[in-house]
Structure 1
Amino acid sequence: MTKTNSQTLFDPVLVHDPVVLRSAMVSDYPAWHALREQSREHLTRWEEKWAPHQATLSSFKRRLRSYERDRKRGGGLSLLIFRQSDDTLLGGVTLTNIRYGASRSGLMGYWLGEKFTGRGYATAAVNAVIHHAFEKIDLNRIVAACQPENGASQKLLENCGFSQEGIARNYLKINGEWRDHLIYSKIASDGSLQD
């Protein structure tokens, strides 16, 4: 079961065994930088390659300020994933482009350091954010996208109760090439947690 100890809806601490999710702090930079560098080849198969300046401390601080602006306006949350047993940084999850009114939806993204894949950490983290989005923020729909070649991401989404809706052609430009993405969604009436 997920427990929420939340200062606000957009700066929560989420616990879903075996992970804890919370907003990034400047003190997380060394662990974040090391994990991103160790996993560079793995991650840049699915996301844009980053230039050296994008991994600097000053760039990390700018990213944190951007996340803070999103939190303050209720437009998104960005959380780091830590292993509950020893506080090791594992990856991150975002819920962005949050819309209210008739839509009540958001776009989910996630990443995990290569050495932590296949152990259930991402599933626990995604389920924690789903629960928070539906039960606390009161969203109705979460959308996620992954490349057709990313079987691990497809399995993760399906294990978390997402349904594939179709394909978005040329959805994102990744490493200089427009790539199709499979579009998945989960709605509140599907239930917030999957076993």
Structure 2
Amino acid sequence: MTLRPLRTADAAVLAQAYRDNREYLAPWDPLREDGFFTEAGQAEQIARRLGGLAVGTDMPWVLAEEERIVGTMTLSGIVRGPFLSAHVGYWVAGRMQGRGVCSAALQEALRHARDELGLHRVQASVLPHNAASTAVLHRAGFTLIGTAPSYLRIAGSWQDHLLYQRILH
């Protein structure tokens, strides 16, 4: 399993990964149009993420098992200046759940955030009933900093989220 930067050429394989995990991810994701699950839809998403990389606001990776993508990890909303912070978001394929894949990838992303990007803090938000993601954050040393009511529109409704942070220095 490797954590590597997202590439333009990943569109077809990433679309397949999302199709394979569509039902599994549905409770944790925003509602998605059918076009999101196509190669063209993923090409559009990738272009957006790589645009963020170019201007320094995003750092997108994929979790790859040989030529197959089994998840993503993204630092987004990177802020410089006195804040030096980012938000992390991730998912891993249902069949990979419970193997430590996401925990290992998150540790690598945090190392990159600190050592390569010079960030001081990374924040994550999680649905209160997402025990697997909460466990990943705890293993990575994140601490709970609060609750955000109606924070994100997930699975078609505005849902509360728990907010976590990890101070990197």
TM over 0.5: yes
SS at match of 2:87: strand
Quick one: which of 25, 38, 41 aligns to 1:43? 25
Aligned to 2:61: 79
Give the TM-score, by structure 1 length.
0.82
Which of the numbers 155, 158, 164 marks the counterpart of 1:178? Answer: 158
Which residue is equivalent to 2:81? 101
- What pairs with 1:1-195 in structure 2 (closer than 5 Å)? 18-26=1-9, 28-83=10-65, 86-189=66-169
- C-alpha contact (below 8 Å) 2:12/2:38 kept by paired residues: no
CA distance in 2, matches of 1:177, 1:120: 30
Secondary structure at the aligned position of 1:45 is classed as: helix
**Contact 2:50 / 2:60 at 8 angstroms: preserved in 1?**
no
Cα distance in 2 for partners of 1:64, 1:153 equals 24
- 2:14 touches 2:42 (CA, 8 Å); kept in 1? no
Say what the alpha-carbon RMSD is for the aligned residues: 1.3
Amino acid in structure 1 at the alignment position of 2:5: R
Task: Call closer, same or farther: CA 1:140–1:165 in 2, change over 3 Å.
Answer: same
Shift of 1:21: 2.0
Amino acid at match of 1:62: E
- For residue 34 of structure 1, report the CA deviation from its aligned partner: 2.1
What is the deviation of 1:33?
2.0
Mark the runs of 5 or more structure 1 residues left unpaired by the alignment: 1-17, 190-195
Letter in 1 for 2:131: G
Paired residue secondary structure (2:46): helix
For the residues of structure 2 that align with 1:118 and 1:58, how far apart are their CA atoms?
Answer: 31
Cα pair 1:21 1:125 within 8 Å, conserved? no
Aligned residues: 169
Structure 2: how far apart are the matches of 1:32 and 1:132? 23
- Preserved contact between residue 36 and residue 42 of structure 2 (Cα < 8 Å): yes
